[in-house]
């Protein structure tokens, strides 16, 4: 599903964001990427979405070597990846229903499919009665659930969640992680980038720890480690 083969990323000016990173994530896994600010987590996400190209090494996503993917091919790779961000990134001038439907219209889904799929997703994330609301009428936890529903709209093979609980209180954070576990239980690969120590330690999932661009550990039932 994801393979990084000796990947390094050096920004102009010499800042080495990632240094010889090597790991493999299989289909259906749930994996945390953890580390303090400046550890390389954001750079890693950008490489997986081909927003950046590595200085050296190889990034493979869903059997696609990203170094060989053309500019025209990038959207087709990204359509197979659902992304969730800390700041929700919802369209403020559209309803909850239309935020989710928009993701489907981008890939030219039919009106019939949208009419069926959007209510399914809203029900899945516990917002069946919120379709006509606008984002500013929702709590932070509800907005993140809408963002998660939107990420699932086109049935992606993988979810990339970048600090999905960063703006949420503990109760809403736990709810978002419960939903991600349910999604993973249906076979979707889930990769969560986070610095939320409590959640990582509670869930006993695979944990890859970065520190200043170096992969310090890869533990199958790990916890949050910051003693490096």
Can you read off the two tokens belonging to residue 47?
């490489």
Split at pLDDT 50, 70, 90, the class of 225 is confident
Beta bridge partners of 31: 191, 206
203 DSSP β-pair partners: none
End-to-end CA distance of the chain: 29
> Which residues is 61 bridged to in the sheet?
2, 64
Give, for 99, the enclosing helix (H) or strand (E): helix 96-106
Strands (E), the chain: 2-10, 16-25, 30-34, 56-61, 64-65, 81-85, 158-162, 189-194, 206-211, 214-219
- In this predicted model, what pLDDT tens digit does every residue of 89-132 receive, in sequence order? 999 999 999 999 999 999 999 999 999 999 999 999 999 999 99
Q: Compute the distance between CA of residue 43 and CA of residue 54 in angstroms, rounded to an integer.
A: 9
3-class SS at 184? Answer: helix
Domains defined along the chain, listed by start: 1-80+156-228 (3.40.50.300), 91-155 (no CATH)
Confidence of residue 37 (pLDDT cuts 50, 70, 90): confident
pTM score above 0.85: yes
| Token output for 145 | 């659930």
Tokens for 220, please give them.
């199958």
Task: Tell whether the model's pLDDT for residue 36 goes beyond 90.
Answer: no
**Token pair belonging to 180:** 């991600």
Please state the rounded mean pLDDT for residues 204-228: 88
| Alpha-carbon distances, residue 117 vs 19, 58, 98, 102, 106 (angstroms) | 42, 36, 12, 12, 14
Strand partners, 3: 24, 60
């Amino acid at each position: 599903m994801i393979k990084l083969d000796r990947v390094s990323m050096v920004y102009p000016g010499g800042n080495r964001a990632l240094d010889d990173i090597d790991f493999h994530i299989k289909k259906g896994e749930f994996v945390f990427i953890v580390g303090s600010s400046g550890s390389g987590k954001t750079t890693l996400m950008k490489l997986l979405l081909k927003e950046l190209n590595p200085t050296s090494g190889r990034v493979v996503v869903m059997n696609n070597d990203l170094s060989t993917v053309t500019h025209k091919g990038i959207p087709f790779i990204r359509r197979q990846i659902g992304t969730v961000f800390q700041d929700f990134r919802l369209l403020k001038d559209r309803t909850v229903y239309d935020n989710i439907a928009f993701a489907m219209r981008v890939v030219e889904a039919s009106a019939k499919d949208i009419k069926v799929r959007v209510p399914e997703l809203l029900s899945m994330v516990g917002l069946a009665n919120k379709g006509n609301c606008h984002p500013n009428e929702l709590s932070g936890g509800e907005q993140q659930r809408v963002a998660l529903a939107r990420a699932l709209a086109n049935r992606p093979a993988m979810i990339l969640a970048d600090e999905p609980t960063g703006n949420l209180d503990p109760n809403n954070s736990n709810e978002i992680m419960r939903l991600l576990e349910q999604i993973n239980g249906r076979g979707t690969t889930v990769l969560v980038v986070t610095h939320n120590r409590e959640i990582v330690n509670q869930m006993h999932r695979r944990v890859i720890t970065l520190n200043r661009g170096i992969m310090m550990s890869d533990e199958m039932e790990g916890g949050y480690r910051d003693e490096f």
